Structure 1
């Protein structure tokens, strides 16, 4: 009804002057509708920013890797390439020979160490036989010439040992003989001295009775005194001879101990040498064995760096990479320090493959598997943490066909760490600046 009443007014106002026409024309309902639409949109926007939440993500750059990791083929020592048995992209089986290095140097080193080890063992056997007095049992792998020389040396050492002990024994016997002679003299004098003493006393009685001449008494007394002095000297000599015999026994024991100590010291040195050479032989054998570089897993050859027979390779040089077959892909990415505190295992992720723009081909979902416990230094980036994430699928649809993802593809990993109200994005900087300004002097 209201529109019907307004219609005549609009027609009447058309015949009025322009200024009066504007004054008498009713407002257009379109303007009011536009205003209400704007107000409604503003209210909805305020409500959405206040109550609506959006995902908070931490972004990390990385690449796709097999979950069993690609295996790098490297030589342990420098060498010359003797054979190349694979080519780029070739599939290989575990244990298959990839590269052969010239084994001449390593084999010569192994033979040298083996000979030295065998010689050390022969010397150890010889010294043990010398100390134990047993037979000389040569190891079966010993050099015959060396075994013969060591056998002759053992016989010479035994003769020397026995001759020196025999000389010491002869010295003991000589001193014992001298001691026995002295002891016999002492016994003889101990028997004759009492008799001479008795005769001297008898001559003294006869001298006092005037039955013998004084000269006869003095001769007997002189003999007695001489015998008594000789007995004292022989007793002293007997003590010296006994000491000499004891000293000779000690010298023999010391000589035997010295010889055994010398041989034991030499034995310990050669046993130590043999043990050290045994370890070196194990290393040399290992070096000789690894002159053939084999595939550690089933996979495909990539990144071949050697193509020339006779070329020289250096220790730990990357010669090629074996990428495993039939192993699910994972994402290995590096997350910055400022984000790592909000990332935990099990969080959902979105993976964007650089090769396939996500705006056209979409993203791949997954979840965080693990986060490293320590940071590593990366050039031009600083300290970052390694993150591993799984993929829900290992292929992406391109032009209607499924295209498999490949190891090494660069990706962007978006980890959903939580949700946040939109208004907080606008208020947080203001609140932070306000708090910081309140603390300033």
Structure 2
């Protein structure tokens, strides 16, 4: 081997390649590369320990309205006559969605209106009875009640006249009997004087005892006639008083009966009026109209002509004039890593985020109960995300808009961690599991 010191540096260029490589000094960069590589590795490790990256939890979901869906349903069992929308249709407020069979509501309304007319006519007739007015015949019900009023007035007038005639007859008999009473009293007085005179004459031996007895007999007969007169007079007065009381009771009973019937009819009329208002509302509900703009979520099964039970929805409408929110499903392994208030980035599947951007929002709540979706292998927790009011997508087509039910992917930002921990976490977790006894 040729030593560097035994060869002049100027002669190195004239040596063989092998000798020249052996005697030439090693370049500085070649001698420093291990140190540079170590420094680069140390720098990368330090940079990885300093740099932070976002920790993101992803979850699928869909857009939903902030208010629950509107369920348009019949109040009673009915038949579906027409269905004018399908799931997914966008409707405006006031748009006709479906028609139900109006036969039953119209029949109920007609029956209630007939009952109302009858009650109104009865109340008018009772009021006329109490006030003595006239009932105008402006309809079938009023005409019937007018006939009833005429018959009742004729009946009451006939009975009242009969009672008044009985009272007048009793008064006439009382007056006649009272006139006879004066003569009877005078006759009795005379007969008593005659008897006294007969007794005086008999005591003086101027008259016979037979005359005395005859005078006494006449006096006793007159007293009996007087007592019979007083009894007849009392009976006639009692008869008159009974007729007067019966007449008053009859008039009072007429007013009381009319007042009681009026007191029963007026509240019943109010109840019927309320039932008519409900029946009219039910009849109007035969035409199912969208109360606000929205998207048809689902419709009744069976189609036109099918029977819709009471309370079953015919059309389920998701309103579009309310703020939207995102309903997402968090995996149970991620549910403990998020808290309410975490920022969320939302990518709508219908609008690619690279072209239209993303929506932003914040996590509002995480459900405590978990569920397992059909076909899913892992349990999920429901969660809601409130969208920022100012968040909009860019470059949307003219007729395109966000609709409830659109699927999405949500990225929940739960914090940051270093790049180094990102690399070492799976390694450390694997080592911890490998070193643990099964």
SS of the residue corresponding to residue 137 of structure 1 reads coil
Written as runs of structure 1 = structure 2, the 5 A alignment for 1:317-336 is: 317-325=312-320, 327-331=322-326
Shift of 1:94: 1.2
Structure 1 residue 183, shift from structure 2 partner: 2.3
What TM-score do you get using the length of structure 2 for normalisation? Answer: 0.64
- Name 1:16's counterpart in structure 2: none
Hey, what does 2:386 align to over in structure 1?
389
Q: Where do 5+ consecutive residues of structure 1 fail to align?
A: 1-29, 49-53, 420-441
Against the structure 1 CA distance between its residues 216 and 413, is the aligned structure 2 distance closer, same or farther, given a 3 Å change threshold?
Answer: farther
Q: Distance in 2 between matches of 1:256 and 1:173?
A: 18
State whether structure 2 residue 279 is matched by structure 1 residue 280: no
Give the aligned partner of residue 158 of structure 1. Answer: 153
Q: Does structure 1 conserve the Cα–Cα contact (< 8 Å) formed by 2:362 and 2:386?
A: yes
Say whether 1:114 aligns with 2:113: yes
Change (3 A) 1:248 1:386: farther
Q: 1:311 aligns with which of 302, 306, 316?
A: 306
TM-score normalised by the chain length of structure 1:
0.63
In the alignment, structure 1 residue 238 sits paired with structure 2 residue 233: yes
1:318-356 alpha-carbon deviations (Å, 9 max, x no partner): 333434446431246899xxx9xx988xx4453667969
Counterpart of 1:301?
296
Residues in 2 aligned to 1:380 and 1:99: alpha-carbon distance in whole angstroms: 36
Deviations 1:216-241 (A, max 9, x none): 22222222232233323433443333
**How many residues are paired up?**
360
Residues 1:220 and 2:208 are matched in the alignment: no
2:126 aligned partner: 127
Of residues 302-311 and 313-322 in structure 1, the stretch that sits farther from structure 2 once superposed is 302-311
Give the deviation of 1:169 after TM superposition: 1.9
Q: What's the counterpart of residue 20 of structure 2? A: none
Question: CA separation of 1:333/1:209 partners in 2, compared to 1, >3 Å: closer, same or farther?
Answer: farther
**Correspondence 1:78-227 to 2 at 5 A:** 78-138=77-137, 140=138, 142-143=139-140, 146-227=141-222
1:350 aligned residue: 344
Confirm or deny: 8 A CA contact 2:83 2:98 kept in the other structure: yes
Structure 1 segment 349-428 matched on structure 2, within 5 A: 349-350=343-344, 365-367=360-362, 389-391=386-388, 406-408=403-405
Which residue of the partner structure matches residue 260 of structure 2? 265
Indicate if the aligned counterparts of 1:395 and 1:405 stay in contact, CA closer than 8 A: no
RMSD: 4.9
